[in-house]
């Protein structure tokens, strides 16, 4: 399949990822669809267990999808063989969540960054060294850092190295998988500002995965809200943040701190934990924790309904609750 919209770099349709377990099949991602325009940032947000990381890795085929399609620059990645996929590996990169486990402790930083350059034959000799030094400078590190090992750096510095590694092959698409959640609060904003600056300077297209809706609203053009592998709400960042139409989105927003103590926010307290994907609730998967759930919510899987330009919500009660 080829995409007809030249402004869309990535179009994901009906993505399903199912894992086999001793207790039976588990759908970690269940029919997720979204699009990312060239030069834009799409945010995927949800609690732990919502399927957001699995969705991101399935798009890159770091885990193999069960079904669906991911059309990148007109080509369905899911239909490619490993050999056919290899040229696209350079064009798509990932920034991992944990800056400690994602870097090989036995390799010097220069070799970690240079490994991708070598794999794709982008530079050799002096040109390779210069390229590595340029990448380190771009993420706020110095040339001498190339000779050090990962254990000589702080968490924030390690994540900068991970970002430099992702940029080494000059990708068009970067999936950032909760890149600041493992960092101290004091350095999170520094790394977020760096990501935003690099995205603007290089014209990157990004998928930014997070559990923090406030961070996603700050960085992203579009937002997709996931719960138990399904899309609850998606739309323009400002529209979703200003007027959320799904109870789950509203609950995520209610947990975010407000810097102005004079502003009061609606209190939404969710009971219990996210259910096991081994035995998801019938109907709306959010109903077991939703303060507005009725009997009808257990019987109907809510379809996505348009509530504004590019803004959709999967809730059968959204009109009566939030119009």
CATH code for position 241: 3.40.50.300
3-state secondary structure at position 312? strand
Residue 213, domain extent: 8-322
Residue 3 lies in a domain: no
Residue 1 lies in a domain: no
User: 118-158 pLDDT, tens per residue?
Assistant: 988 899 999 999 999 999 999 999 999 999 999 999 999 99
Contact 179, 191 (CB under 8 A): yes
Enumerate the β-bridge partners of residue 70: 12
Residue 94 lies in a domain: yes
| DSSP structural state of residue 181 | T
pLDDT of residue 3 exceeding 50: no
Residue 169 lies in a domain: yes
Residue 2 lies in a domain: no
User: 164-193 pLDDT, tens per residue?
Assistant: 999 999 999 999 999 998 888 889 999 999
Residue 52 lies in a domain: yes
What is the number of other CB atoms lying within 10 angstroms of the CB of residue 1? 12
In this prediction, residue 23 carries a pLDDT of 86
In this prediction, residue 263 carries a pLDDT of 57
**Number of domains the chain is built from:** 1
Residue 273 lies in a domain: yes
User: 261-291 pLDDT, tens per residue?
Assistant: 555 656 666 777 889 999 999 999 999 999 9
3-state secondary structure at position 113? helix
pTM, two decimal places: 0.92
pLDDT of residue 2 exceeding 70: no
* Distance in angstroms (rounded) separating the CA atoms of residues 227 and 275: 10
Residue 222 lies in a domain: yes
Contact 205, 10 (CB under 8 A): yes
* Distance in angstroms (rounded) separating the CA atoms of residues 105 and 100: 9
């Amino acid at each position: 399949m080829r995409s007809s919209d030249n402004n869309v770099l990535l179009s994901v349709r009906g993505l399903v990822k199912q894992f086999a377990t001793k207790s039976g099949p588990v759908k970690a991602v269940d029919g997720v669809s979204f699009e990312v325009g060239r030069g834009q940032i799409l945010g995927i947000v949800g609690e732990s267990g919502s399927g957001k990381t699995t969705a991101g890795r399935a798009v890159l085929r770091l885990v193999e999808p069960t079904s669906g399609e991911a059309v990148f620059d007109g080509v369905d990645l899911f239909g490619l063989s490993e050999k056919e996929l290899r040229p696209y590996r350079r064009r798509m990169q990932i920034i991992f969540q944990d800056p400690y486990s994602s870097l090989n402790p036995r390799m010097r930083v220069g070799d970690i960054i240079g490994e991708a350059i070598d794999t794709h034959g982008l530079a050799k000799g002096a040109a390779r060294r210069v390229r590595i030094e340029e990448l380190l400078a771009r993420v706020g590190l110095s040339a001498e850092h190339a000779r050090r090992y990962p254990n000589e750096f702080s968490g924030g510095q390690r994540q900068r190295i991970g970002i430099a590694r992702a940029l080494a092959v000059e990708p068009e698409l970067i999936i950032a998988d909760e890149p600041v959640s493992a960092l101290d609060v004091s350095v999170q904003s520094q790394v977020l500002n760096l990501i935003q600056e690099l995205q603007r300077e290089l014209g990157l297209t990004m998928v930014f995965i997070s559990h923090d809706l406030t961070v996603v609203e700050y960085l992203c053009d579009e937002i997709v809200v996931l719960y138990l592998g399904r899309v609850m709400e998606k739309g323009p960042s400002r529209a979703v943040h200003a007027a959320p139409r799904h109870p789950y989105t509203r609950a995520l927003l209610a947990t975010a701190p407000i810097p102005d103590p004079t502003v009061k926010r609606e209190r939404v307290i969710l009971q219990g934990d996210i259910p096991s994907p081994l035995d998801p609730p019938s109907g709306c998967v959010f109903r077991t924790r939703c303060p507005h759930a009725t009997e009808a919510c257990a019987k109907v899987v809510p379809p996505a309904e348009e509530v504004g330009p590019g803004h959709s919500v999967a809730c059968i009660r959204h009109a009566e609750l939030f119009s």
